[in-house]
Structure 1
Amino acid sequence: MPITPNQGSTGGGTTVTITGTNLGGATAVHFGTKLATITANTPTSVTVISPSGTGTVNVTVTTPGGTSNPLPFFYVGAPFKSSLSPVSGPTAGGDTVTIRGNGLSTATSVAFGATSATPTVVNDSQLTVTVPAGAAAGPVGVSVTTAGGTNNGLSYTYVDSPTVTSLAPTAGPTSGGTGVTITGTQLTTTQSVSFGGTLAPFDVINDTTISAVTPPGAAGAVDVTVVTTGGSATAAGAFTYTAGPGI
């Protein structure tokens, strides 16, 4: 006589189906000492709403013909989430986020705002999930659903992709050391700036301005790339290294 699912929230409310034979006319289904609410009944199945409980209890079905053999049902507490990392990423989604806490082993979904994703359970205290695309930039609540229920309390921030609109100046010596102002949008979370693939020191002035210092480079035009939490933006051939005179 199988029972599906065989685990549910300590608060009750789990829809459980018990299958077997001679189950028609069921008068009672017990979860331990507590009665469950019968919602459907046929000769081969009984569907009930589990009562609240804790630990492992025996489930039995009573019909006019007697009481069935017991089956175990496992009560699971609601999950507890302690941390989420990273806490932000691109609006397009795709980043892998790690959630830590406890009671996570039965996690079936993680919701970022109104959009859910299927997690990979590492163990009872950790899971990973690929962030779905967000509807817009900004923070959303993160909730984890397990057999024990749903727990909220964490936040994830979607960040729009950056843009680079201009550089000043646009040229400098191959020896590097030129101070360059990069103008664009969504630059607050800048993680790196590179000239021709070589990383440059930088400071974020505000969401539309970065101050960078060119590294040494070979003569010619190079791409300038800004990488932020929200993605990356490349200004093709935006800076030209100029070789010094020789005699």
Structure 2
Amino acid sequence: MPISPNQGSTGGGTLVTITGTNLAGTSAVHFGSKAATSFTNVSPTQVTAVSPSGAGTVGVTVTTPGGTSNPLSFFYVGAPFKASISDTSGPTAGGNTITLNGVGLSSATAVTFGANSATPTVLSDGQLSVVVPAGTAAGTVGVSVTTAGGTNNGLSYTYVDTPTLGTPSPNSGPTSGGTAVTVPGTNLTTTQSVTIGGAVAPFSVLSDTSLSVVTPPGTAGAQDVTVTTTGGSSTAVGAFTYVAGPGI
């Protein structure tokens, strides 16, 4: 006589389906010593019941005019607890993989970011791996984890839009580098790196719409400027021109 699911929250409220024979006229369903919150005799071979609160492993029995069945094991699971999240922000498009650390995560079935849900990979009872779903819009959303023990929230995650870039000022300088350049754009607050012609450039964030960049040494000619943020990368093709010095 199988039971599905065979685990649920310590707070009760889990709807389980018990399948067997001669179940007509069911008069009681017990989870250990506690009666089910409610039950329904669906057919002579099936009964559904709502688990009461409990703890540990208990035997589930069905009582009919013919007697009481053998017990089936039901496992009470505590609510999950999330301690930390590996990355607290990422692109609005999603697709990046993060880890969640906590306890009671082994039966996790979903991780929800705001209104969007993803199915996690259980690494252990203390850790989940999940691919972040696309966000509805840029901004901070709550993160919740659903397990057999219930749903827990309390962490947050920030979706960040991909940056855009304007024309650097000045837009040219010597191949020796060292030119102080202002790079305009949008969504620049979380800038992680700037490259000019593939070479890493020192930078500082002035605002969400402006960066201060010092050009590294480069090759004469028009070079791409690429800015990478938490929200992704953007490239201004040929936006800065290196000018070779005079020779005599």
- The TM-score range, normalised by the shorter chain, is over 0.9
- Equivalence for 1:244: 245
Matched, 1:6 2:9: no
Q: In structure 1, what is the equivalent of residue 84 of structure 2? A: 83
Which contiguous aligned blocks of 4+ residues in structure 1 show a shift greater than 2 angstroms? none
Partner of 2:228: 227
Map 1:79-158; keep pairs closer than 5 Å.
79-158=80-159
> 2:72 maps to what in 1?
71
2-structure distance, mates of 1:139, 1:237: 34
Corresponding letter in the other structure for 1:75:
Y
AA aligned to 1:33 is S
Q: Distance in 1 between matches of 2:168 and 2:41?
A: 70
Unaligned runs of 5+ in 1: none
What do the CA deviations read for 1:161-212 (whole angstroms, capped 9, x no partner)?
1110120111111111111100011100000000011110000011111001
2:27 is the alignment partner of 1:23: no
Cα deviation for residue 243 of structure 1 reads 0.8
- 8 Å contact from structure 1 (residues 13, 49) kept in 2: yes
Where in structure 2 are there 5+ consecutive unaligned residues?
none
State the alpha-carbon separation in 1 of the partners of residues 223 and 97 from structure 2.
Answer: 32
Counterpart CA distance in 2 for 1:226 and 1:176 is 18
Aligned-pair distance for 1:15? Answer: 0.7
- TM-score (ref. length: structure 2): 0.98
For 2:175 and 2:21, how far apart are their aligned partners in 1? Answer: 85
Instruction: Provide the C-alpha distance between the structure 1 equivalents of 2:136 and 2:69, rounded to a whole number of angstroms.
Output: 51
The CA RMSD measured in Å over matched residues stands at: 0.7
Cα distance in 2, alignment partners of residues 85 and 99 from structure 1:
6
Question: Bigger CA drift: 207-216 or 32-41?
Answer: 32-41
Secondary structure of the corresponding residue to residue 58 of structure 2: strand
Distance 1:39 1:85 in 2: 44
Is residue 143–residue 153 contact of structure 1 (8 Å, CA) maintained in 2? yes
Residue type matched to 1:216 in 2? P
Distance in 1 of aligned mates of 2:167 and 2:86: 33
Does residue 57 (structure 1) correspond to residue 58 (structure 2)? The answer is yes
Matched, 1:208 2:209: yes
Contact 1:23 1:41 in 2 (8 A): no
* Alpha-carbon distance in structure 2 between the residues aligned to 1:34 and 1:238: 73
What fraction of aligned residue pairs are identical, expressed as a percent? 73
- Secondary structure of the residue aligned to 1:168 is coil
Partner Cα separation in structure 2 for residue 157 and residue 203 of structure 1: 22
Shift of 1:97: 1.4
2: CA distance between counterparts of 1:169 and 1:95? 35
Q: State the distance in 1 between where 2:92 and 2:17 align.
A: 40
- Distance in 1, matches of 2:217 and 2:166, equals 23
2:34 corresponds to: 34
Provide the rounded CA distance (Å) in 2 between the counterparts of 1:176 and 1:221: 14
Aligned residues: 247
Preserved contact between residue 24 and residue 44 of structure 2 (Cα < 8 Å): yes
